[in-house]
Protein backbone atom coordinates (compact mmCIF):
# COMPACT_ATOMS: atom_id res chain seq x y z
CA UNK A 1 0.00 0.00 0.00
CA UNK A 2 2.83 2.38 0.87
CA UNK A 3 4.53 1.75 -2.47
CA UNK A 4 1.25 2.33 -4.31
CA UNK A 5 0.70 5.61 -2.48
CA UNK A 6 4.25 6.69 -3.22
CA UNK A 7 3.74 5.90 -6.92
CA UNK A 8 0.48 7.89 -6.97
CA UNK A 9 2.27 10.83 -5.36
CA UNK A 10 4.94 10.70 -8.05
CA UNK A 11 2.32 10.88 -10.81
CA UNK A 12 0.58 13.75 -9.01
CA UNK A 13 3.87 15.63 -8.79
CA UNK A 14 4.43 15.13 -12.52
CA UNK A 15 0.96 16.56 -13.20
CA UNK A 16 1.72 19.62 -11.09
CA UNK A 17 5.05 20.11 -12.85
CA UNK A 18 3.38 19.81 -16.26
CA UNK A 19 0.93 22.55 -15.36
CA UNK A 20 3.55 24.82 -13.80
CA UNK A 21 6.13 24.41 -16.59
CA UNK A 22 4.19 23.85 -19.80
CA UNK A 23 0.61 25.05 -19.42
CA UNK A 24 0.18 27.98 -17.05
CA UNK A 25 3.26 29.91 -18.29
CA UNK A 26 1.87 29.77 -21.85
CA UNK A 27 -1.30 31.58 -20.90
CA UNK A 28 -3.86 28.98 -19.81
CA UNK A 29 -5.31 30.46 -16.62
CA UNK A 30 -8.78 28.95 -16.20
CA UNK A 31 -8.56 27.45 -12.71
CA UNK A 32 -11.37 24.93 -13.35
CA UNK A 33 -9.52 23.61 -16.39
CA UNK A 34 -6.21 23.44 -14.53
CA UNK A 35 -7.83 21.69 -11.58
CA UNK A 36 -9.37 19.07 -13.88
CA UNK A 37 -5.96 18.43 -15.47
CA UNK A 38 -4.38 18.19 -12.02
CA UNK A 39 -6.90 15.52 -10.99
CA UNK A 40 -6.91 13.43 -14.18
CA UNK A 41 -4.31 10.63 -14.42
CA UNK A 42 -3.04 11.16 -17.96
CA UNK A 43 -0.70 8.18 -17.54
CA UNK A 44 -3.57 5.70 -17.85
CA UNK A 45 -4.64 7.24 -21.18
CA UNK A 46 -1.37 6.52 -23.01
CA UNK A 47 0.06 3.13 -24.08
CA UNK A 48 1.82 1.39 -21.20
CA UNK A 49 5.12 1.52 -23.08
CA UNK A 50 4.90 5.33 -23.16
CA UNK A 51 3.70 6.03 -19.62
CA UNK A 52 7.07 7.47 -18.63
CA UNK A 53 6.44 10.16 -21.28
CA UNK A 54 2.82 10.87 -20.30
CA UNK A 55 3.60 14.30 -18.85
CA UNK A 56 6.01 15.49 -21.50
CA UNK A 57 4.57 18.37 -23.53
CA UNK A 58 4.26 16.51 -26.80
CA UNK A 59 1.79 14.38 -28.70
CA UNK A 60 2.19 10.63 -28.31
CA UNK A 61 1.17 7.80 -30.67
CA UNK A 62 -1.67 5.64 -29.35
CA UNK A 63 -2.07 3.15 -32.20
CA UNK A 64 -4.45 3.01 -35.17
CA UNK A 65 -2.60 5.98 -36.71
CA UNK A 66 -3.86 8.27 -33.95
CA UNK A 67 -2.24 10.39 -31.25
CA UNK A 68 -3.01 11.86 -27.86
CA UNK A 69 -2.51 15.61 -28.15
CA UNK A 70 0.22 17.43 -26.25
CA UNK A 71 -0.94 18.62 -22.82
CA UNK A 72 -0.68 22.33 -23.63
CA UNK A 73 -2.93 21.99 -26.69
CA UNK A 74 -5.47 19.97 -24.70
CA UNK A 75 -5.51 22.65 -21.99
CA UNK A 76 -5.67 25.51 -24.51
CA UNK A 77 -8.56 24.05 -26.50
CA UNK A 78 -10.46 23.21 -23.33
CA UNK A 79 -10.07 26.76 -22.06
CA UNK A 80 -11.21 28.19 -25.41
CA UNK A 81 -14.27 25.97 -25.24
CA UNK A 82 -15.21 27.76 -21.99
CA UNK A 83 -17.03 24.78 -20.46
CA UNK A 84 -19.48 25.33 -17.62
CA UNK A 85 -20.96 22.93 -15.09
CA UNK A 86 -24.36 22.88 -16.80
CA UNK A 87 -23.05 22.32 -20.36
CA UNK A 88 -24.05 19.51 -22.67
CA UNK A 89 -20.96 18.82 -24.76
CA UNK A 90 -20.33 16.94 -27.98
CA UNK A 91 -16.78 15.66 -28.42
CA UNK A 92 -15.66 14.53 -31.87
CA UNK A 93 -12.79 12.06 -31.60
CA UNK A 94 -12.79 10.17 -28.32
CA UNK A 95 -9.29 8.79 -28.87
CA UNK A 96 -7.95 7.33 -25.63
CA UNK A 97 -10.55 9.20 -23.58
CA UNK A 98 -8.25 11.73 -21.89
CA UNK A 99 -9.97 14.82 -23.27
CA UNK A 100 -13.30 13.11 -22.60
CA UNK A 101 -12.38 12.69 -18.94
CA UNK A 102 -11.53 16.39 -18.63
CA UNK A 103 -14.82 17.41 -20.23
CA UNK A 104 -16.72 15.03 -17.96
CA UNK A 105 -15.14 16.71 -14.94
CA UNK A 106 -16.07 20.17 -16.20
CA UNK A 107 -19.53 19.69 -17.71
CA UNK A 108 -22.91 18.14 -17.01
CA UNK A 109 -23.03 15.66 -19.88
CA UNK A 110 -20.61 14.55 -22.61
CA UNK A 111 -21.57 12.85 -25.87
CA UNK A 112 -18.45 11.52 -27.58
CA UNK A 113 -18.01 10.01 -31.05
CA UNK A 114 -15.11 7.87 -32.28
CA UNK A 115 -14.82 6.23 -35.70
CA UNK A 116 -12.35 3.52 -34.55
CA UNK A 117 -14.22 0.94 -32.50
CA UNK A 118 -11.16 -0.41 -30.66
CA UNK A 119 -10.22 3.07 -29.42
CA UNK A 120 -13.76 3.76 -28.25
CA UNK A 121 -13.94 0.45 -26.42
CA UNK A 122 -10.62 1.02 -24.64
CA UNK A 123 -11.51 4.63 -23.77
CA UNK A 124 -14.83 3.58 -22.30
CA UNK A 125 -13.09 1.02 -20.10
CA UNK A 126 -10.67 3.66 -18.80
CA UNK A 127 -13.46 6.10 -18.02
CA UNK A 128 -15.43 3.38 -16.24
CA UNK A 129 -12.37 2.51 -14.14
CA UNK A 130 -12.26 6.15 -13.00
CA UNK A 131 -15.93 6.13 -12.05
CA UNK A 132 -16.98 8.55 -14.79
CA UNK A 133 -20.75 8.24 -15.32
CA UNK A 134 -21.78 11.28 -17.39
CA UNK A 135 -20.28 10.22 -20.74
CA UNK A 136 -22.31 8.75 -23.62
CA UNK A 137 -19.94 7.02 -26.12
CA UNK A 138 -20.77 6.12 -29.69
CA UNK A 139 -19.12 4.87 -32.88
CA UNK A 140 -19.63 6.77 -36.10
CA UNK A 141 -18.76 9.64 -38.43
CA UNK A 142 -17.94 12.55 -36.15
CA UNK A 143 -17.91 15.07 -38.98
CA UNK A 144 -21.73 14.93 -39.07
CA UNK A 145 -22.08 15.04 -35.29
CA UNK A 146 -24.93 13.44 -33.36
CA UNK A 147 -28.02 15.33 -34.49
CA UNK A 148 -30.34 13.07 -32.51
CA UNK A 149 -29.08 14.56 -29.24
CA UNK A 150 -28.60 18.17 -30.40
CA UNK A 151 -28.47 21.01 -29.58
CA UNK A 152 -25.17 21.16 -27.69
CA UNK A 153 -23.83 24.04 -25.65
CA UNK A 154 -20.28 23.16 -26.65
CA UNK A 155 -18.64 21.05 -29.36
CA UNK A 156 -14.95 20.10 -29.28
CA UNK A 157 -13.25 18.45 -32.26
CA UNK A 158 -9.92 16.71 -31.66
CA UNK A 159 -9.01 16.07 -35.31
CA UNK A 160 -8.44 18.51 -38.16
CA UNK A 161 -11.01 19.30 -40.84
CA UNK A 162 -10.43 21.11 -44.16
CA UNK A 163 -13.21 23.55 -43.17
CA UNK A 164 -15.64 24.03 -40.30
CA UNK A 165 -18.27 21.28 -40.81
CA UNK A 166 -21.65 22.94 -41.36
CA UNK A 167 -23.49 20.05 -39.72
CA UNK A 168 -21.61 20.61 -36.49
CA UNK A 169 -22.40 24.31 -36.46
CA UNK A 170 -26.07 23.50 -37.01
CA UNK A 171 -26.05 21.35 -33.86
CA UNK A 172 -24.86 24.20 -31.62
CA UNK A 173 -27.32 25.89 -29.30
CA UNK A 174 -27.70 29.64 -29.69
CA UNK A 175 -24.60 31.26 -28.21
CA UNK A 176 -22.99 27.82 -28.30
CA UNK A 177 -19.29 27.41 -28.94
CA UNK A 178 -17.30 25.05 -31.21
CA UNK A 179 -13.51 24.63 -31.10
CA UNK A 180 -11.87 22.80 -34.00
CA UNK A 181 -8.54 22.56 -35.88
CA UNK A 182 -9.05 23.67 -39.50
CA UNK A 183 -6.65 23.70 -42.43
CA UNK A 184 -4.54 21.55 -44.73
CA UNK A 185 -3.32 18.01 -44.33
CA UNK A 186 -0.18 18.94 -42.42
CA UNK A 187 -0.73 22.32 -40.74
CA UNK A 188 -3.88 23.83 -39.29
CA UNK A 189 -5.23 26.58 -37.09
CA UNK A 190 -7.42 26.12 -34.03
CA UNK A 191 -10.65 27.99 -34.73
CA UNK A 192 -13.32 29.08 -32.26
CA UNK A 193 -16.86 29.28 -33.66
CA UNK A 194 -19.73 30.98 -31.83
CA UNK A 195 -23.28 30.54 -33.07
CA UNK A 196 -25.40 33.68 -32.94
CA UNK A 197 -28.89 32.79 -34.07
CA UNK A 198 -28.88 32.11 -37.79
CA UNK A 199 -25.24 33.15 -38.24
CA UNK A 200 -21.93 32.20 -36.70
CA UNK A 201 -18.60 33.93 -36.07
CA UNK A 202 -15.29 32.17 -36.69
CA UNK A 203 -12.13 33.32 -34.89
CA UNK A 204 -8.71 31.81 -35.78
CA UNK A 205 -6.61 31.29 -32.66
CA UNK A 206 -3.44 29.20 -32.77
CA UNK A 207 -1.33 27.25 -35.28
CA UNK A 208 -1.41 23.50 -34.67
CA UNK A 209 -0.97 20.07 -36.21
CA UNK A 210 -3.57 17.31 -35.78
CA UNK A 211 -4.45 13.99 -37.35
CA UNK A 212 -7.20 14.31 -39.96
CA UNK A 213 -10.91 14.21 -39.25
CA UNK A 214 -12.23 11.51 -41.58
CA UNK A 215 -15.84 11.63 -42.65
CA UNK A 216 -18.59 12.85 -44.91
CA UNK A 217 -18.12 16.53 -43.99
CA UNK A 218 -14.33 16.44 -43.60
CA UNK A 219 -11.46 14.52 -45.24
CA UNK A 220 -12.69 11.46 -47.13
CA UNK A 221 -9.40 9.50 -46.93
CA UNK A 222 -6.81 9.00 -44.20
Report the DSSP beta bridge partners of residue 179.
Answer: 156, 192
Statement: 58-208 belongs to CATH 2.160.10.10: no
Cα separation, 97 vs 183, whole angstroms: 24
Is the pLDDT at 216 greater than 70? The verdict is yes
Of the residues 4, 6, 49, 69, only one is catalytic, namely 69
Q: Is 53 a catalytic residue?
A: no
Note the pLDDT tens digit of each residue in 112-126. 999 999 999 999 999
CA dist list (Å): 158 to 11, 13, 129, 197? 25, 27, 23, 25
pTM over 0.75: yes
Note the pLDDT tens digit of each residue in 162-198. 999 999 999 999 999 999 999 998 899 999 999 999 9
Please give the pLDDT value at position 3. Answer: 58
- Count of CA atoms in the C-beta half-sphere (13 A) of 138: 17
| pLDDT class of 8 with cuts at 50, 70, 90 | confident
Kindly state the DSSP code that residue 69 receives in the 8-state scheme: P
Amino acid sequence: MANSQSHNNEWAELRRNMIDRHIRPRGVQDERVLAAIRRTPREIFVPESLRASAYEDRALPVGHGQTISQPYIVAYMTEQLAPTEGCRVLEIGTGTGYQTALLAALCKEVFTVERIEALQREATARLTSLGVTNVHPSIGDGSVGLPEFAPYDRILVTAAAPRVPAKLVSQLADDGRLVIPVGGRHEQTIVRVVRLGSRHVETPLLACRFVKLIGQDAWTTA
